[in-house]
Structure 1
């Protein structure tokens, strides 16, 4: 019995399949994309058999997939070019010798049809950029010599195709939302970073109809605040010169105005809100992973507009004293969440920060968990089948600790995560093993990371034969998403997303926004697709860098050597991620 199931977001498609057992003699699978017209195209492949060399244009027909799940990272590019956005996937088992493979008689599997689109309903859109620069595509675009300066020059050029490839639909999402503010409409934004010419021009075009609470990232790196320096000084002056209302929310070291949201107001009523992890910069668009939601929900939009007004009042009350920002009145207002009913019993709960009584003191040992993080942690600990997450630098304690606690409580739980800062991946291990983390700088060697939660990596030190060296980062962040997905194939599914870094520190010290969406399965499946797309990309690279010259990037010539990773001899599934994907197939 063969089954294949596909999932999509606006950028990639994930496909998983099963034949219920190992297939004797199977050398791997050819995977074909089938468009709306029925045209089949074999997916590109990367690995080759020993003794073969990688070549441009090779496909899975020649060098098959030796897994039972795969992704199509070209789906959005194909859809944008062809206009065909609906695809199915045909999975063909192959047998024979390397270089002379042919379809097996066992038959092929065809997946369900999926649509590569951000539009999940009439009111909700979820955008994910490509944002991964540690790819062979980027290295090739940079002539095999990936370098930060050259890359930044490319992604800031509005006419450069590499900018479009990496940003995906994110530019359209942001500029399109701004463009919805027609004559007499207004836009209210709270932004941490604003540094992309196309986005700045889009906002400036609104003139006096734009209202922005604009914070101050550090001028030198645009990813953290220090002192009262201002990485937004140029964009700040541009918007003021255009006639916009700009609220200068200028923080000192240790606090940041980390929001990235916009509220559209028509006829003096909020009608839609845009929010997520995406900073309005060229790096936010192109060189780090990010997500953005556009929700045409007047109640949620009003909630964000109310928060915007509280930020404005707090800023004005502080005057020129940055120490007076995030006063008690704002913190008290932020401490109360609000939940809105959606269709079919789903809900969305809105949280804002800072919501702790005061700034964080010391390392946070024995501190009371902030109210928003308390809800997130409890939801993670109640997970029944899966916890998936992406994070940048959440600090401690954070979602990594709570994922480990959930894993310890339920050994069958499928947990996967990817982070930029190694401290979060290390924290998962320490929590899992019940070990007290060493003090920073005491000379203790790094802990061996658990493959369930990995730190983003590129092909830099170890580069497999036939591959090109890759660049990992063009700034500080690699995975900049702040996402938790819980039980995505369940009616009780949960998606947590926003600007919040998903650790205690942000709730104490930062301006943040966060939503918890319960029971909206199409959103959960899109976010699960994104998380495992990113996880799979970096987990393999992490393995190659960890194992060094021992890492084997070649296809196997013995069928049982690769199939045994996925199925036991009795036909039971051995691989946790395959089991996860196939759990979405309804039982007969």
Structure 2
């Protein structure tokens, strides 16, 4: 939801998701005079709470040597920004926020300027609308996690209640939503599932319970044989085949409810979706980036998307039917037969999922895009969508930036749209082929953050851990979500979300599904506020990591609050911060 409040000192703009709210202060010149920052106060009538929000930076003249782990309040250590986010909101709740301008000096703050006030309401977590969206926290690498649970690996946390609490905190409500989707299926319904990893026991157990109460559950799993022995002589069993089959046996799901996806061993069955079919026909879809694993639920960043749309559910049903026959070439087929079968399979997928060559032309609503496809047209279209965003584009990338994106973005200038990229790993040259590296950065209006954590105490930030060190994830520890936002603050936003990494294998080879959602500002607001949360979280950490990697000391001066109003110079016309602020200033509030 979008909100705006005007006062003599300026305007407050807020965009709310379910758990996160993004704010912008459009201050008058008079308010800016002598402004040291804002003390942000939150009033929560539901909880009968009123308090000043926590701050991160401090005035060096007030706290010259902040200790790791110290927490401060914006009451006297203000927010020196015109764009700010509250990551601690609760769903479907009304809040009032007061932004108190602080002037004077750090040791003699002047609080006489009237505050700017705004009342907001967060989105419900569960609704009867077309879309509900669920993000886990995805920030095992955080001060909040470290303060609560330390850096001990999850399985070593004691007592067991602490272990369970840590997993719940990391999952937020993603697991609750996933299980609710399964549990609300009634006897007589059909639930058609398709999963890459199938080893999160609570979900597998819930599916077994659904079978027992009379739901017709059919589950396609990745069961491809890809075992190998590496150069060191270590044997690697087929993944995720072995884990998936072991979990099925452990929980006791009957073999007649399982369909093994074994053909096309060079491509993965990467879907994570469920389709509910009632007596009235296809009704609902669960999709997103979340594998059925503990790391998918509680470790790396992930999203679950619940769609109530019979037409789209019908497309998912048709796609599931194609996959249920285990289509494509097998290892026992001759090469010509492999090519014939694979082409037939891709043609069938495109028949089920006819989309315009230019995805900018999709109609309002939700459009399903399935893979694999004969050509990389879809990937090229995703790249064009991001490159031609009018004001802003955001994307999460678990496995690097595809060349198609770089080829289009490399000629952009600061006059183009602001592009934000959230990556699992820092974008850097391949040591074996450094000459092929294409750099895109602030000169192209592209701003990148990558997964990282504080390995040592910095300023008042304590040493952290990450999802890999906690034992939750082996390969992707930070950014596993796959979504893209095009002009999310506009009146006609586009959200692309699902299982596919924005890469050539994901569009031409793997079994994948994506939703292109156009014109739904509620969906865009939820995704954008969560993107802001994750980008802001990892941006600071990736900057610190980059400095460390180059042997450069962290600029401790920049870690403190500025002691006078000169911090506002970062918002000079044409600057990155000014353009980002303008995105909020131009919001249309209906």
TM-score when scaled to structure 2? 0.82
Q: Deviations over 1:233-268 (max 9, x none)?
A: 322324654466111113676421100000111127
Q: Which stretch shifts more, 247-256 or 516-525?
A: 247-256
Aligned match of 2:584: 581
Match of 1:110 in 2: 117
Query: Aligned in 2, Cα 1:412/1:374: closer, same or farther, shift over 3 Å?
Result: closer
| Residue 87 of structure 1, aligned match among 95, 101, 109 | 95
Once structures 1 and 2 are overlaid, which stretch shifts more, 447-456 or 369-378?
A: 447-456
User: Paired residue for 1:63, among 65, 70, 77?
Assistant: 77
Aligned counterparts of 1:165 and 1:115: Cα–Cα separation in 2:
20
Cα gap change, 1:395 to 1:153, in 2 (>3 Å): farther
Alpha-carbon deviation of 1:482?
0.8
CA distance in 2, matches of 1:446, 1:503: 17
| Equivalence for 1:432 | none
Counterparts of 1:290 and 1:351 in 2: how far apart (Å)? 19
Change (3 A) 1:64 1:418: same
**Shift in Å, 1:75:** 1.2
Q: Could you tell me whether the CA contact under 8 Å between 1:31 and 1:43 is conserved in 2?
A: yes
- For residues 132 and 187 of structure 2, the distance between their equivalents in structure 1, rounded to whole angstroms, comes to 24
Task: State the Cα deviation string for residues 508-559 of structure 1 (Å, max 9, x = none).
Answer: 2200001111111221222121222211111111122223423335332432
CA shift in 2, pair 1:113/1:58, >3 Å: same
Rounded to whole Å, the distance in 1 between the matches of 2:334 and 2:125 is 39
- Alignment match, 1:279: 291
Structure-2 residue corresponding to 1:235: 247
Q: Structure 2: how far apart are the matches of 1:485 and 1:583?
A: 17
Structure 1 pair 397–447 and aligned structure 2 pair: CA distance change class (3 A): closer
Aligned match for 1:566, one of 565, 571, 575: 571
1:53 has 2:66 as partner: yes
The alpha-carbon distance between structure 1 residues 140 and 572, as it changes in their structure 2 partners (threshold 3 A), is: closer
Contact 1:279 1:285 in 2 (8 A): yes
Question: Is contact 1:395–1:505 with CA below 8 Å preserved after alignment?
Answer: no
Answer yes or no: is the 8 Å Cα contact 2:197–2:240 preserved in 1. no
Match of 1:13 among 15, 21, 36: 21
Query: Does 112-121 or 85-94 show the bigger shift?
Result: 112-121
SS in 2 for 1:565: helix
Q: Secondary structure at the match of 2:249?
A: helix
Cα deviation per residue 1:469-489 (whole Å; 9 max; x = unaligned)? 122342222111111111122
Given that residues 94 and 119 in structure 2 are in contact (C-alpha distance below 8 angstroms), is that contact kept between their aligned partners in structure 1?
A: no
- The answer to whether the Cα contact below 8 Å between 1:227 and 1:251 also exists between their aligned partners in 2 is no
Say if 1:335 and 1:371, in contact at 8 Å, map to a contact too: no
Q: Which residue of 1 aligns with 2:367?
A: 349
Aligned mates of 2:330, 2:568 — CA distance in 1: 63
Contact 2:155 2:163 in 1 (8 A): no
Residue 205 (structure 2) pairs with residue 201 (structure 1): yes
Q: Aligned in 2, Cα 1:266/1:418: closer, same or farther, shift over 3 Å?
A: same
SS in 2 for 1:31: strand
How far the C-alpha of 1:117 sits from its partner, in A, is 2.7
CA-CA distance at 1:446 after TM superposition = 8.3
- Equivalent residues in 2 for 1:499-510 (5 A)? 499-510=499-510
Structure 2 partner of 1:131: 138
* Offset from partner CA, 1:448-468 (integer Å, 9 cap, x none): 773644242434345312221
Return the alpha-carbon distance in structure 2 between the equivalents of residues 292 and 577 of structure 1.
28
Q: Distance in 2 between matches of 1:100 and 1:463?
A: 30
Distance 1:473 1:65 in 2: 29
- For residues 160-218 of structure 1, the C-alpha deviation after alignment (integer angstroms, 9 at most, x for no partner) is 22212111121111000000112122211100112222112111212272111001488
Q: Does 1:256 align with 2:264?
A: no
Matched-pair contact (CA < 8 Å) for 2:219–2:259? yes
Structure 1 residues 132, 574: CA separation in 2 closer, same or farther (over 3 Å shift)? Answer: closer
What does the per-residue CA deviation read over 1:276-335, in whole Å, with 9 as the maximum and x for residues that have no partner? 111111111111111121111111111101111100113499598799597322200222
Give SS of 1:258's match. Answer: coil
Q: Could you say if the C-alpha distance between residues 227 and 193 of structure 1 is closer, same or farther in structure 2, counting changes exceeding 3 Å? A: closer
Aligned in 2, Cα 1:250/1:156: closer, same or farther, shift over 3 Å? farther
How many Å separate the matches in 2 of 1:276 and 1:285?
A: 12
5+ long unaligned stretches in structure 1: 357-368, 427-437
Aligned mate of 1:311, from 312, 323, 326: 323
1:408 aligns with 2:422: no
Residue of structure 2 in register with 1:167 after alignment: 171
RMSD: 3.5
Matches within 5 A, 1:31-42: 31-36=40-45, 39-42=49-52
- Taking the aligned partners of 2:54 and 2:530, their CA distance within structure 1 comes to 20
Segment of structure 1 superposing worse, 468-477 or 284-293: 468-477
Matches within 5 A, 1:376-391: 376-391=382-397
Number of aligned positions between the proteins? 541
Q: How much does 1:339 deviate? A: 6.7
Q: Are residues 320 and 57 of structure 1, via their aligned partners in 2, closer, same or farther at CA, if it must alter by over 3 Å?
A: same
**Cα distance in 1 between the residues matched to 2:97 and 2:242:** 49
Structure 1 window deviating more from structure 2 (95-104 vs 536-545): it is 95-104
1:190 counterpart residue number: 194
* C-alpha displacement of 1:62: 2.2
Cα distance change, pair 173–242 in 1 and its aligned pair in 2 (3 A):
same
CA distance in structure 1 between the aligned counterparts of 2:480 and 2:259, rounded to whole angstroms: 25
Match of residue 154 from structure 2 = 150
The whole-number CA distance in structure 1 between the counterparts of 2:22 and 2:540 is 16
Q: How does 1:457-476 map to 2 (within 5 A)?
A: 457-461=451-455, 463-474=457-468, 475=473, 476=475
On the 8 A contact 1:394/1:501 being kept in 2, the answer is no
Residues 1:554 and 2:559 are matched in the alignment: yes
Q: More deviation in 458-467 or 411-420?
A: 458-467
**Structure 1 equivalent of residue 309 of structure 2:** 297
1:295-444 paired onto structure 2 within 5 Å: 295-315=307-327, 327-336=342-351, 337-338=353-354, 346-356=364-374, 370-394=376-400, 396-399=402-405, 401-402=407-408, 404=409, 408=412, 411-422=415-426, 425-426=427-428, 441-442=432-433
